[in-house]
Amino acid sequence: MGQADPHEQDAFKAEVAAVQSGITGTLRLGTDPTASTTLALPVAAFFAAHPLAKVQVRSRLSTKELHRQLRDYELDVAIAHFCISPGRGGRSGGPPGLPGLLVSDDQLVAQSATVSWAEAAQLPLALLTPDMRIRQIVDTVFAEKGYVVTPQVETDSVASLYAHVGGGGWASIVPHTWLRAMPVVGRTRALPLGDPEAGAQVLVAIHAATPGSVAARAFVNAATGLSLDDFFARPLPPEHRVR
């Protein structure tokens, strides 16, 4: 009978300790900027089960860097738009990152309730950098529609996009989930983009190795018990409402 792997024995002991007393260490959680607004619910569920734990969030990482840091054990968990999924089918696997147009009243003459991708292509745009998944979805849709779009401003911060639109000089395309975290104010409007509707799944990823991180598996268990699709499909509060 072979000798047990000491690493597996240590992992088993850690698992037992976590079940008995709860996790007390620090969970290292990484996300890309566009998915960062989805963190609050799974983090809260994780703390409900493990109130003595701590969470350290890194929120300015590209999906490529998230993969690397997971692979090199620099992160325990990553939440991001890992999959590009233009079209309505992208809504099935996780909370949707449906893009919407942020625009000031000065940019659109007609007070429309919706806007087309053709209209968006004619506006001076500030967009996320090309390594961001939402930007890749935006580029894919524009290319499929035959529009050549060159943004005047590129940034890795959705908050920066809000500021540029608020200044009145640019329009932008941001994930729908951000409207819950940052309301549109003043003369800024948020309009749904259609024809086609496009989206990206927000997925939770951990290292594929076994047994892996106890904290990571505990976080995944907490996250999978939530109905994030239903939450983000609810009507927005009036101050956030897409008009």
Smallest CA-to-CA distance from 187 within 214, 206, 169, 207 is with: 169
- Asked whether the predicted pLDDT for residue 238 surpasses 60, the reply is no
Q: Are residues 135 and 90 in the same domain?
A: yes
Which range (72-86, 92-106, 128-142, 178-192) has the least confidence? 92-106
Residue 181, domain member (yes or no): yes
Whether residue 1 is contained in a domain is answered as no
The pairing of beta strand 153-155 with beta strand 126-128: parallel
Pair (149, 212) in one structural domain = no
What is the CATH number for 163?
3.40.190.290
- Supply the pLDDT for residue 32: 84
In a shared domain, residues 183 and 216: no
Task: Report if residue 171 sits inside a domain.
Answer: yes
Are residue 100 and residue 165 in the same domain, yes or no?
yes
Residues 144-163 as b or e (16 or more Cβ within 10 Å = b): eeeeebebeebbbebebbbe
| Residue whose C-alpha is closest to residue 35's, from 68, 65, 62, 72 | 62
- Residue pair 61/82 in contact (Cβ under 8 Å)? The answer is no
**Mean pLDDT, rounded, for 215-240:** 69
Mean pLDDT of the chain: 77
Q: What is the pLDDT of residue 193?
A: 81
- Tell me the C-alpha distance between 239 and 52, whole Å: 35
- What is the rounded average pLDDT of the residues 129-158? 90
The whole-model pTM stands at: 0.68
Cα–Cα distance between 213 and 114 in angstroms, integer?
45
- Other CB atoms within a 10 A radius of the CB of residue 56 amount to 11
Strands, DSSP E only, in 32-140? 54-58, 77-86, 99-104, 115-116, 126-128
Q: Would you give the DSSP letter of residue 92?
A: S
Range of the domain at 68: 6-84+202-240
pLDDT of residue 52: 92
Residue 4 scores a pLDDT above 70: no
In this structure, the strands spanning 172-175 and 77-86 are: unpaired
Into how many domains does the chain fold? Answer: 2
Q: Which of 33, 53, 34, 56 is CA-nearest to residue 45?
A: 53
Looking at the structure, tell me whether residues 229 and 149 fall in a common domain: no
Residues 161 and 210 in one domain: no
